[in-house]
């Protein structure tokens, strides 16, 4: 999810970690990344129907953790973008 968020949140440091590695996704990861993409497109205004899809694959605790992770990571990446953090070049 971090890599998915990084592609849209403007932090060059986070973008440098690469794009999501789709071949490594299992079902829960795929659903979580899809939810992350909805979050990005909807600017956080997520319809209840999307949460119903999540509930088919994730527990309430996992959904809560996913939302917290997305929120925290987005805030961190916005901070990185504001501070113009750059990846370390070797």
Domain ranges of the chain: 2-82
* Contact (Cβ atoms closer than 8 angstroms) between residue 5 and residue 40: yes
Burial class (CB in 10 A: 0-12, 13-18, 19+), 61: exposed
pLDDT of residue 22: 87
pLDDT of residue 88: 82
CA–CA gap between residue 70 and residue 68 (Å, rounded): 5
**Quick check: 89 pLDDT over 80?**
no
CA–CA gap between residue 8 and residue 14 (Å, rounded): 10
pLDDT (tens digit per residue) in 8-39: 999 999 999 899 888 999 999 999 999 999 99
pLDDT of residue 35: 96
pTM (2 d.p.)? 0.87
pLDDT (tens digit per residue) in 31-61: 999 999 999 999 889 999 999 999 999 999 9
């Amino acid at each position: 999810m971090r890599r998915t968020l990084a592609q849209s949140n403007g932090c060059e440091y986070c973008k440098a970690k690469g794009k999501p590695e789709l071949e490594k996704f299992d079902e829960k990861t795929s659903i979580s990344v899809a939810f992350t993409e909805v979050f990005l497109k909807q600017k956080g205004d997520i319809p209840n129907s999307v949460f119903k899809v999540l509930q088919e694959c994730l527990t309430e605790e996992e959904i809560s953790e996913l939302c917290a992770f997305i929120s925290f990571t987005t805030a961190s990446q916005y901070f990185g973008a504001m501070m113009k953090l750059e990846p370390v070049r070797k």
